[in-house]
Structure 1
Amino acid sequence: MRHDRTHLVGQRRWPSFLPAAVIVAAIVVDLFTQGVNTFPLLAAAPVLAAPVLSLTGTIATGVASIVIGELEVPVVSEGPFHPHPAQLATVVALTALAAVLNRLMARYRQQLKDTREVAEAVQRAVLPTPPDRIGPLAVAVRYEAAAREAAIGGDCYAIRSTPHGVRLMIADVRGKGMGAVRTVNGLLGSFHEAATRMPDLPGVVGRLEERMQELNAEDVEGAESFATAVVIEIPADGSVLRLSNLGHCAPLLVHQSRARPLDPTDPTLPLGLGDLGRTRVPVEQYPLPPGATLLLFTDGVVEARDRHGVFYDPVPHMSRPLPADPGAILDTLLADLARHTGGHLDDDAALLAVTHLQEARDGTATSSADRTQAEPA
């Protein structure tokens, strides 16, 4: 199973052509106009090259600007035009300055790359990859990082085979950075324990709520946090799913070319806010026929917008013939999401899909497949 990490979307190559475009513009102006000084354009070229080209490319751009400024175009000026020495000195000085700027920006980019690698290493240490199959379910996960600065987010998911069936969770912790990772660790540890010991979903949710309250009480900065979540239980025979939605986006049940959102009939508060009025944990039950896929995701998917500000709706895109493999279904959804957003996400997106296998009719869950997995926002 492929498990994507820190895949950046929205990277563009066109800025690297700007220096050459400016030099070409200076040549065109020289060819088709008279009495126009193009040295400001030529002087700008190495400065534009500094953030988008290598050191060699930046210096080469400056040298090209100097040479073109020296030669000019005899056809227009009726003979070679010799610019004022101060103009050439200006281009030389700006080229040297651009070279220094290029080195500083290269060092910054390397530091940012190192930061991303550290963030990814932390996430990999916290979140091992789940197996391809757990009990009667085929499993797939994906993670898409937003195209912005590196930050460890609070998107997380977990799946575990237990004596009560397969239990899984997807959650989105408010905030980013090490505080979010600490909360994610606490939630995943509690889920791992509660999923095995608690006989029902309200018990699992209750333990998760207690842990969130404990984490908030332990926060020395006094910053209270919360997490939206969906907690699901699928019995050993895979025939049904039981679901508790705690302020999270509704999962999709995909079957026979139709995607059905499992919207909660009785919405309740996110984890960490239960003391504000949650009197009970609602549990809803749905059939899970063989071949059906349960698709869970964080709000980075449904809050993604196109260039007109329209939110992405996965339902129509998933309501069509799809591959049977849950990984292929996630890849299809992410391809549609990239087309909708133009390849630019504003927030991290974590996705989890489980498919009820057609041949899984033995009614047993494979306990050796226990794994827990989480990702960033």
Structure 2
Amino acid sequence: MDQGHSRLQQYPWLPPVLLVGSVGLELVTPKIVSGAALIAVAGMAAAISGTFRYTVMIVGVGLVLTGISAFEAHHGYASAAVQVAEIVIASALALAVRRMLDSQSAKFSVVRSTAEQLQRAVLPPLPKIIGPMTVACRYEAANTVARIGGDLYAVAETPFGLRLLIADVRGKGLGAVSAVSVIVGAFHERAESEADLEGLAERLDRAVARAAEQYADPFGIDAAEAFATALLIEIDRRGATLRLLSCGHPAPYLVQDGEVRELDTGQATPPLGMRNLAPSIGGPRSYDFPTGATLLCVTDGVTEARNAAGTFFDPVSDLKPVPDGDPEQLIGALFSSVGRWTKKKRSDDMAVLAVARDAADEAVPRGQATA
């Protein structure tokens, strides 16, 4: 009913057209034919497509038209009274439906507001400027009602440089929120103390495994299947070098001079929560981070978005246009490109984190993050 409701809301002119149609039907057809059915439909259409006041107006006009046509049709008082009674009942039902929809809408607004507050608590807004870096992020859940799911990102300014995390918890919707909070909390706790990305990944892996074992259904799934893919990034204090460690996560992209290049993360380590299966596999990769370039990190909601032909979206070839230097514009262009590619029909959460290098090779003191 929600889809039908939203569609009818696009046609507020429909109830008046139905009322006019009922009058026309009365005028051009024999008296035995009645337009009462169109009047009843007009009231229900108004209830679904408009406000309560609008519904009352349509219902009132319909009752007046019904009374006039019923008593001028010369069917007799009893027959006219029956026809009017039928429209009165239909009108009352339309008003009751409108009241029910208003009540549901109010409850839905409370649920949506709660979900938005929960998302801000789990994924608070990131600083826009950290040292020589400009940071931007955007998240859209596949569940447009809950507006929250299993994708996450985090940024921490540390003695080792700027550290970033983007991850994707197995599962969607509110069931994945507790796992998201576990990973984000572990990242902020350990990002400043672990000397390298391998140690940080190990700490996050332990946090995920511990949550799956100790807490009741923290991922919304069986504990044995609980894991999260993740990409850990470290940018040195001068902002000149990137270090990447993929835990089964899609590779990031380097955007510069209007071109998008995928960065090879090498052999990925197992996802968080499953690193004990192959503890010696994979390792970090290093890249130069040129001035004016932007690092674009995504979840599989981007790379696994499909068009009507079933072809996956590829940011290297399908991201158009490709803005330079402004991570906010780059993220906006990416979401627009994915929306066009999928015709806005996505089935997965989508999170994007972008970092642009603005300054020259000068070490920047800590604490220069700007909201």
Tell me the TM-score normalised to structure 1 length: 0.82
The corresponding residue for 1:369 is 369
Amino acid at match of 1:173: V
Aligned amino acid, residue 134 of structure 1: I
C-alpha distance in 2 between matches for 1:36 and 1:340: 51
Deviation at 1:93, TM superposition (A): 0.6
Q: Shift of residue 247 of structure 1?
A: 2.3
> Deviation of residue 14 (structure 1)?
1.3
What amino acid does structure 2 have at the position aligned with 1:46? G
Q: CA deviation at 1:254?
A: 0.7
Cα deviation, residue 220, structure 1:
2.4
> Aligned residue for 2:235?
234
> Could you say which residue in structure 1 is the equivalent of 2:189?
193
Determine if contact 2:256/2:324 at 8 Å carries over to the other structure.
Answer: no
Number of aligned residues: 355
Q: Tell me what 1:66 maps to.
A: 63
Q: How does 1:17-32 map to 2 (within 5 A)?
A: 17-27=13-23, 29=25
Cα RMSD for the two superposed structures: 3.0
Which secondary structure does the structure 2 equivalent of 1:238 belong to?
coil
Alpha-carbon shift at residue 64 of structure 1 (Å): 2.8
Give 2:138's match in structure 1, choosing from 128, 136, 142.
142
1:176 Cα deviation from its structure 2 partner: 4.3
Kindly provide the amino acid, as one letter, of the partner of residue 326 in structure 1: P
Partner of 2:151: 155
Going from structure 1 to structure 2, the CA distance change for 1:343 and 1:72 (only over 3 Å counts) comes to farther
**Offset, 1:311:** 4.3
C-alpha distance in structure 1 between counterparts of 2:244 and 2:102, whole Å: 49
Q: Which residue of 2 aligns with 1:374?
A: none
In terms of mean alpha carbon deviation, does 141-150 or 182-191 score higher?
Answer: 141-150
2:266 counterpart of 1:265: yes
Q: Distance in 2 between matches of 1:33 and 1:348?
A: 56
Structure 2 vs 1, CA of residues 209 and 89 (structure 1 numbering), >3 Å: closer, same or farther? same
The letter for the 2-side match of 1:43 is A
Q: Secondary structure of 1:196's partner? A: coil
Name whichever of 38-47 and 339-348 sits farther off: 339-348
Q: Show the counterpart of 1:6.
A: none
* 1:121 aligned to which of 117, 120, 131: 117
User: Is 1:171 the equivalent of 2:172?
Assistant: no
- Where in structure 1 are there 5+ consecutive unaligned residues? 1-10, 74-78, 372-377
After superposition, give the CA deviation of every residue in 1:309-350 in whole Å (9 maximum; x if it has no partner).
554433334365514211121122223333344455444322
Residue 48 of structure 2: SS of its match in structure 1? Answer: coil
User: What SS is found at the alignment partner of 1:168?
Assistant: strand
How far does residue 143 in structure 1 lie from its aligned partner after superposition?
A: 2.4
- Shift of residue 294 of structure 1? 0.7
Q: How does 1:1-377 map to 2 (within 5 A)?
A: 13-27=9-23, 29=25, 36-71=33-68, 84-146=80-142, 148-150=144-146, 152-176=148-172, 179-221=175-217, 223-224=222-223, 225-306=226-307, 311-318=312-319, 320-343=321-344, 345-357=346-358, 359-364=359-364, 366-369=366-369
Alpha carbons of structure 1 residues 233 and 14: separation in structure 2 relative to 1, 3 Å: same
Partner residue, 2:3:
none
- In structure 2, C-alpha distance between the alignment counterparts of 1:40 and 1:165, rounded to whole Å: 72
**1:19 corresponds to which letter in structure 2?**
P
Render the CA deviation track for 1:244-301: whole Å, top value 9, x for unaligned.
1222232221111111123543234321122333433421222221111111122333
* Post-superposition offset of 1:37: 4.1
**Structure 2 contact 245–268 (Cα < 8 Å) conserved:** no
Q: 1:32 to 1:354 in 2, by over 3 A?
A: farther
- Aligned AA (1:223): D
Contact kept? 2:66, 2:87, Cα under 8 Å: no
Post-superposition offset of 1:179? 4.6
SS at match of 2:15: helix
How many Å separate the matches in 1 of 2:266 and 2:29?
71
Letter of the 1:286 partner, please give it: Y
Q: Note if contact 2:135-2:353 (Cα within 8 Å) is conserved in structure 1.
A: yes
Q: CA separation of 1:41/1:263 partners in 2, compared to 1, >3 Å: closer, same or farther?
A: farther
Offset at residue 139 of structure 1 (A): 0.7
Alignment check: 8 A CA contact 1:136 1:237 kept = yes
The one-letter code sitting in structure 1 at the alignment partner of 2:353 is L
- RCO higher in 1 or 2 (8 Å CA, sep ≥ 6)? 1
Write the letter of the residue equivalent to 1:203.
G
Instruction: Measure, in 1, the Cα distance between the counterparts of 2:327 and 2:296.
Output: 9
Seq. identity, %: 37
Which sits farther off after the overlay, 195-204 or 326-335? Answer: 326-335
1:80 to partner: Cα distance: 5.8
* Cα separation, 2, equivalents of 1:309 and 1:69: 53
